[in-house]
Amino acid sequence: MVAGIRQPLEATARQHAGVRVLADNFTEIQQAICVARADVDRFHAVNDALSEWRADGILQALIAGHLGQAN
């Protein structure tokens, strides 16, 4: 038994017929980005970029490309 990030585990399970990934999540990891409090311009730039990437699908494509497509 192993626990970890779903996308890499699903990619591994696709390559090994003897293992499978449970359907339910047992926890949720909330990721964050930290910038210096005084760097207001960078704060807004990161927020704007993330909003744009979510809206146009780039963020999901990056996740799929680097972590594998979740099924």
DSSP line for 24-43? S-S----------TT-HHHH
For 8-21, the pLDDT digits (tens) are: 999 999 999 999 99
User: For the whole model, what pTM was predicted?
Assistant: 0.54
For residues 42 and 61, what is the distance between their CA atoms, to the nearest angstrom? 23
pLDDT score for 6: 87
- 5, 67 in Cβ contact below 8 A? yes
pLDDT along the chain (71 residues), means of 10: 86 93 83 92 96 94 77 46
